[in-house]
Structure 1
Amino acid sequence: MTKNLTLFDIDTEDIQELLNRHFEDWVAFRQASTSRARHERPLLDESIHVYREMWQAFAAFCAERQLTLPDVTVTDLETFLTIRGSGPDAWRPRQTTRGPDLTARYANRYLVLINKITQFIAKREGIEPNRAALLLRERPEYRFAEAADKDPPPDYLNELQARVLIAYLTRAPQADAGEKFTWKTARDRTAVSLMLGAGLSPGDVRSLKLDGVITEGGRKAGVPWKLAVEGNGNSPARETPIADWAGRQLAFWLRVRAEQGIPGTYVFPATMKGNQWSHSRCFESSREVLENAKLGKDAGGLYKLRHTFALRQLRKGKSEEDVARWLGLLDINGMVRYRRIVISYQDVV
């Protein structure tokens, strides 16, 4: 039976458990929120996954030093950010950094997360909130980290990389090479196809339903040409077009799915029983596709596909309003990241 822990009655070995429980309580609070304010509304599954990984690293750091939230100082946070940037290891995966140090932008996001959860717990427990993260964020390198000129351009596939990936995703099984091709192989390649060819996020892929695949009205009978994607806390319901090659790949996967007799409503089920694909398995399976296509397994690689889709549409002359809607962006200002690349006339497929 789990003990009912508080900030003032705690054993050293329970610190990490308590801090991780704080995170889950904060997530539950956000997911139950009906507020439209960005800092209060429900979180995307992908965001929860990343935040949980970030917070667990912080919880491990605190447990090693016997620190509860009221104990954390500015110096502690500086030490943590230094250690966090010296990875990678099991507790320090650097998903959004380059080089040996954390970027100021990523460090600032860490401080924002720590401050939000600290404030949430303090309010719930009726205690004075720890201001260490807030104070550290006042430093110029963090205060202006989210400024437009500090926002790095999105990673994307250049024309050659995209064509190599498309060729891999759509090729027939290489029987003479002894290539193993199962229904999961077809599923995984098609999921990646929709990230690149329709701008879906991994969360969109996981939640996509069969009735959201639209074939009627397309240029070729039986080939999907757009998708109806369900909304969530941070993204409205929307329709998005599918590239011709990705539509053909989706049609192939749907035939495989039907031949296997897989039940349920999810386009990309986790098992033959039709269960929903988990975040972690979708992420790992999709990254393995990129690795097998010789594009590497670097973190953030899946969102390169979505960014490439957006840039391709903009280069084709589609409006920022249309592309933002297809991506499910609530704020069109998010398109400024792509605008700088398009204006510079860099190559995209």
Structure 2
Amino acid sequence: MTKNLTLFDADTSTVEQSLNQHFADWVAFRQTSKSKARSERPLSEESANVYAEMWHAFAKFCAERDLALQEVTVTDLETFLTIRGSGPDAFRPRQTTRGPDLTARYANRYLVLIQKVTQFIAKREGIEANRAAATLRERPEYQYAEAADKDPPPEYLEEGQARSLISYLTRAPRPDSAEKFTWKTVRDRTAVALMLGAGLSPGDVRGLKLDGVITTGGKKAGVPWKLSVEGNGNSPSRETPIADWAGRQLAFWLKVRTQQSMPGNYVFPSTMKGTQWSHTRCFEASRDVMEDAKLGKDDGGLYKLRHTFALRQLRKGKSEADVARWLGFLDVSSMERYRRIVLNYQSAA
């Protein structure tokens, strides 16, 4: 489990420390739970990391207002969700927002997390649980946030945009350019390349291991053509193909990584020491690559790259079953949202 779940900064207030300890206790309970209930199963490391960043932002909000968990009201939660959607800063990653506000789906997930931790603490201490999050979730916009018909069509890159991004990601540094080109530049562009060229999610990128890069059996010696991606709480382990251009970019990054003598098994380490990229830093670095490529920071988020990969594969005639497997979907019915776009595209052609 990650180290940051129970560590507190020396300047952290008592309220914030208390709230973060509540969260750490809830995670510890989940990790040792033998329950088969989905709400009590052990968390994957990726899920725990994401929840930790979400909760720590909530704890910081409460600490600034000197609010204990039992004192939080519906109005407080409404204010928090509004602030959370108005970022960006280190505590307000906006990959799950559209425009100035959080999506109802992501806001609901915040409320679910707060409700779960609140109920856990109340049960442990034998007190009545604060119902603010539960009450807010009864509103229609949150109550039906996860409904299938509320699922918006995926945002994706038009073919011209995809080609422009590929050109940007794979271009060599220009001798006459003032552009700063470091190992991090190559790492960040290659990470984005695998989101577009192999359908990886940001979490997949962060967790990708060197022994998951497959070069044997490819068209060109030493050039990766397939990735073995570890499973997590949301998707199974899988193998996914890499587009030729993305494979060459990955080979270039691995060469740079070797030249820098980086230890560890992570393909995309955060530092020269080989430590894992954090959720927030990976998002920020990848988002900046998108902005530098003139595709905007927040328009559709990073998942539009994964969606574009799926649509490109379907348009090439790959089966829905194959693409679903490459993306790590457990149910092929998840491809329905892509099917509508492909059919419209074919009708317009």
Q: Which amino acid aligns with 1:122?
A: A
Match in the other structure for 1:3: none
Q: Please name the residue that 1:110 is paired with.
A: 110
Matches within 5 A, 1:1-349: 14-33=14-33, 37-44=37-44, 47-82=47-82, 84=84, 87-88=86-87, 94-298=94-298, 301-345=301-345
Amino acid corresponding to residue 177 of structure 2 in structure 1: A
Residue 173 of structure 1: CA displacement?
A: 1.0
Which amino acid in structure 1 is aligned with residue 98 of structure 2?
R
Once the two structures are superposed, what CA deviation does each residue of 1:252-303 show, in whole Å capped at 9, x if it has no partner? 2222233333333222233334333333332332222222212222276322
Segments of 4+ moved more than 6 angstroms: none
Pairs aligned (count):
334
SS at match of 1:216: coil
1:154–1:30 CA distance, 2 compared to 1 (3 A): farther
Secondary structure of the structure 2 residue equivalent to 1:228: strand
Q: Decide whether aligned partners of structure 1 residues 341 and 227 sit closer, same or farther in structure 2, where only a CA change above 3 A counts.
A: same
Given that 2:50 and 2:279 are in contact with CA atoms closer than 8 Å, whether structure 1 keeps it comes out as: no
Residue 240 of structure 2 aligns to a residue whose secondary structure is strand
- The verdict on how the C-alpha distance between 1:320 and 1:22 changes in structure 2, with shifts beyond 3 A counting, is farther
Alignment CA distance shift 1:296-1:175 (3 Å): same
Q: CA 1:28–1:155 in structure 2 vs 1: closer, same or farther (change >3 Å)?
A: farther
Distance, in Å, in 2 between the alignment partners of 1:263 and 1:316 is: 38
Deviation of 1:180 after TM superposition, in Å, equals 3.0
RMSD value, Cα: 2.8
| Alpha-carbon spacing, 1:240–1:100, altered in 2? closer, same or farther (3 Å) | closer
Name the CA shift for 1:221/1:83 in 2 (closer, same or farther; >3 Å): closer
C-alpha displacement of 1:80: 4.1
2:6 equivalent in structure 1: none
Aligned partner of 2:30: which letter? R
- Residue 59 of structure 2 aligns to a residue whose secondary structure is helix
Distance 1:237 1:113 in 2: 26
Q: Is the partner of 1:329 in helix, strand or coil?
A: coil
Q: Secondary structure at the match of 2:263?
A: coil
SS at match of 1:240: strand
How far residue 170 of structure 1 moved from its aligned partner, in angstroms, is 0.9
Do the aligned partners of residues 25 and 158 (structure 1) sit closer, same or farther apart at CA in structure 2, a change above 3 Å counting? farther
CA contact (8 A) 2:154 2:307 kept: yes
- 2:320 and 2:332 in contact (8 A); partners too: yes
Q: Distance in 2 between matches of 1:62 and 1:18?
A: 11
CA distance in 1, matches of 2:285, 2:211: 24
What letter is aligned with 1:342? V
Question: Is the 2:84–2:102 Cα contact (8 Å) retained in structure 1?
Answer: yes
Asked if 1 retains the 8 angstrom alpha-carbon contact of 2:98 and 2:298, the reply is no
- Match of 1:227, SS state, is strand
After superposition, what is the alpha-carbon deviation per residue over 1:31-69, rounded to whole angstroms, capped at 9, x for unaligned? 444656443334455544543343334334434544323
Measure how far apart 1:118 and its partner are.
Answer: 1.0
Aligned counterparts of 1:276 and 1:52: Cα–Cα separation in 2: 16
Change (3 A) 1:255 1:124: same
Contact 2:154 2:337 (8 Å CA) reproduced: yes
Deviation at 1:313, TM superposition (A): 1.8
The structural deviation recorded for 1:175 is 1.0
Q: Equivalent residue for 1:6?
A: none
Q: Identity of aligned pairs, percent?
A: 78
Mean CA deviation greater in 33-42 or 293-302: 33-42
Give how far 1:247 is off: 0.9
Task: Give per-residue Cα distances to partners, 1:299-323, cap 9 Å, x unaligned.
Answer: 7632221121122222223233222
* CA distance in 1 between partners of 2:130 and 2:21 (Å): 18
The CA distance in 2 between the partners of 1:138 and 1:120, in whole Å, is 20
